[in-house]
A and B are shown apart, each in its own frame.
Chain A
């Protein structure tokens, strides 16, 4: 009986191809939107997680001033090199400490120029940030101490200034500073915040302080915590030490901020996941609207086919048989829409993943859920019209029109 009802439904839907397609369209769009958004969201979340893992999850960033958000802080006295030395000396749980100071500058080579981020720092910067050298070398301790004009550049800077030339050994100009390119960094791609991690020039801190900034400020300190040591505990130690060094009395707030990359990671993945579910929910609403479209068309269909229903009832169709026929029709309509939507979603997520540079992760469960949901939409929104058909009075139905 069910198989028969299915065949009858298929025949009925084939009769009105255009209408069937338009009715399905709501479900198609709904399912496609839900799957695409959730798939892309999943990809983005995974990307963020991986990138943060690449950043080194044991990293803490210490900024002067109170942190307002990633990369923003309210003004307060910068650190000095003595603070960095104190951290290295007094907190044994730190594997590496890298003072940094930097700013945006124009790098010039021959007739090419490119505005980039210049960071003055120590050798430990490369370990903490997980940066590897592709060609050439990083600076020596001697160069850091003496403030030699040498620099290591990122892939983006190389492409913009040198094109296909080998940059190592050449000299570039950063504002008024002329420095020798001694190394090229392994590319790292886009960060989870959307910034290009290869658009940078790294020079020794002293070189930056003396010859670019003209002061002895350290604007941020990056530290790496020993494996197995709780970052919370180290965070407290650093805070205590810096409060003493910055002469804060106990009733004063911190005028610096210790930021745990793990916290940022959790926050970012949390945000991405929240966004994904929000967008998914919005798309799910369109599935619901699609369901209402099905109900609408099924009601029209019941009215149009009143005489047919009357004939079926007269011939001896039972109430549930008529109900089943229309219910199956609605479910076939909605689940076919679901299947088309799934195919569409797979195509569009692969395509969009490429465009948005997010990994495509095949998510079987969301596909299964969407399909079941679309079938359920057919049952729910097909039920009312089907019951209306089943409860028609055969005499009135026979004489309809």
Chain B
């Protein structure tokens, strides 16, 4: 049941590699192709923004990258492991140990303190209570929320809630952080704070960040921007300009 991707990681191999990935929803005449043969490589430590109009396949590819979904055809190798061949629970273990998720709607547990929210992934990892407390407090400190541990989401601003969510994603020290429109529900000031935080995480912790966004301003924080159109990568360029 244990998925130890690191064993299979070979020097120089990309962290993420999609080869001819297609995704078809439905069957027969109702079938709809969301991805139509996507090739993509992402190396460790990159900060990638994924853009594209709705229906372009960017969400589908994020789901596949996040091991929430399997490709219909083609292969997805994450740290050298063929994700398409894994069972549902094996993919869950992959997510638990190597991936962190940040959502547009924060997805925090209501009426549950910030600390307990951040502890959640550690509970599933089976960490002891004292380890959970320490690590969750550290993660909250990392996102600048020291002193807010015992506030519930309802008592926090949107920006603070998203930072709790980032702390929850980071508490397990993931290899990849997947952010699905992390600033979609925030005003521009808070959005900038979140983007700064993600940039810091990418730069200082070496965590690979993959972020879906609609806003060019936010995408500008990334070093690389990938644009989807009609189920294919339309444009993939390394971004050099500053903020």
Decide whether A and B assemble into one complex: yes
Select B107's contact among A310, A317, A318, A321, beta carbons within 8 Å. Answer: A310
Bound state CA distance, A208 and B110, in angstroms? 86
Q: Is A314 on the interface with B (CB-CB < 8 A)?
A: yes
Per the CB 8 Å criterion, the residue count for chain B at the interface is 28
A11 in contact with B112 (CB, 8 Å):
yes
Residues in A with CB closer than 8 Å to B68 are 314, 394-395, 398
Contact A315 B121 (CB under 8 A): yes
- Determine chain A's interface SS by DSSP, over half rule: helix
Question: Roughly how many angstroms separate A251 CA and B97 CA in the complex, as a whole number?
Answer: 95
CB-CB contacts below 8 Å: B55-69 with A? 63, 66, 68-69
Among B107, B126, B168, residue most surrounded by chain A Cβ atoms (within 10 Å): B107
A180, CB-defined interface residue at 8 Å: no
Residues of A in contact (CB 8 Å), total 20
Interface string of A293-317 (1 = CB under 8 A from B): 0000000000000011011111111
Inter-chain contact A321/B88, CB cutoff 8 Å:
no
In the bound assembly, the distance between CA atoms of A11 and B123 in angstroms comes to 15
| A395 CA to B178 CA, complexed, in Å | 14
* Residue A111 lies at the interface, judged by CB distance under 8 Å to chain B: no
Asked if B92 and A395 sit within 8 Å, CB to CB, the answer is no
Docked CA distance A15–B109 (Å): 12
Contact present for A395 and B63 (CB under 8 Å): yes
Q: Among the listed B63, B92, B112, which residue makes an inter-chain contact with A316, where contact means beta carbons less than 8 Å apart?
A: B92
Q: When A1-B126, A4-B123, A310-B107 are in contact, do A315 and B96 touch as well, CB less than 8 Å?
A: yes
A321: chain B residues within 8 A (beta carbon): 124
Interfacial chain A residues near B112, Cβ < 8 Å: 11
Is A319 an interface position by the 8 A CB rule? yes
In this complex, the member of A1, A308, A394 whose beta carbon has the largest number of chain B beta carbons within 10 angstroms is A394
Is the CB of B93 closer than 8 A to any CB of chain A?
Answer: yes
Q: Is the CB of B63 within 8 A of A317?
A: no
CA distance A1 to B123 in the complex (A): 8
User: In the complex, are the beta carbons of B69 and A317 less than 8 A apart?
Assistant: no
Q: Is B78 an interface residue (CB 8 A)?
A: no
- The verdict on B197 contacting chain A, using a C-beta distance below 8 Å, is no
Q: Mark A313-334, 1 if CB is under 8 A from B, else 0.
A: 1111111010000000000000
Contact status A318-B89, CB under 8 Å? yes
Q: In the assembled complex, which residues on chain B have CB atoms less than 8 Å from the CB atom of A307?
A: 105, 107
Minimum Cβ distance to chain A for residue B36 (Å): 19
* CB proximity of A312 to chain B, nearest CB, Å: 7
Pairwise interchain contact B120-A312, C-beta atoms closer than 8 A = yes
Interface flag for B151 (CB, 8 Å): no
Q: How far is the CA of A394 from the CA of B168 in the complex (A)?
A: 18
Q: Report the separation of the CA atoms of residues A394 and B88 in the bound assembly, to the nearest whole angstrom.
A: 10
In the assembly, what is the distance between CA of A4 and CA of B116, in Å? 12
Contacts of A395 in B (CB 8 A): 63, 68-69
What are 6 A-B contacts defined by CB distance under 8 Å?
A308-B107, A316-B99, A316-B124, A317-B92, A319-B92, A398-B68
The complex places the Cα of A15 from the Cα of B123 at a distance, in Å, of 20
Q: Judging by beta carbons under 8 Å apart, are B66 and A316 in contact?
A: no
Beta-carbon contact of A313 and B107 below 8 Å? no
A-facing residues in B63-95 (Cβ within 8 Å): 63, 66, 68-69, 88-89, 92-95
Given A4-B123, A308-B109, the answer on whether A316 and B93 have CB atoms closer than 8 Å is yes
Q: Given known contacts A316-B96, A316-B97, what 13 new A-B pairs fall within 8 Å (CB)?
A: A11-B112, A15-B110, A311-B103, A313-B92, A315-B95, A315-B124, A316-B92, A316-B121, A316-B124, A316-B125, A317-B124, A318-B93, A395-B68
Closest A residue by C-beta to B129: A4
Residue of B nearest to A320 (CB): B89
B101 at the interface (CB under 8 A from A): yes
B111 proximal to A (CB < 8 A): yes
Cα distance A319–B87 in the bound complex, in angstroms:
11
Name the residue in A11, A308, A314, A395 with the highest tally of chain B Cβ atoms < 10 Å from its Cβ: A314
Chain B residues near A313 (CB-CB < 8 A): 92
Residues in A whose Cβ lies below 8 Å from that of B69: 395
Contacts of B99 in A (CB 8 A): 316
Q: Per-residue CB proximity of A1-22 to B under 8 Å, as 1/0?
A: 1001000000100010000000
Specify which chain A residues have a CB less than 8 angstroms from the CB of B121 in the assembled complex: 315-316
B92, B96, B99: which has the most chain A beta carbons within 10 Å?
B92
CA distance A43 to B99 in the complex (A): 64
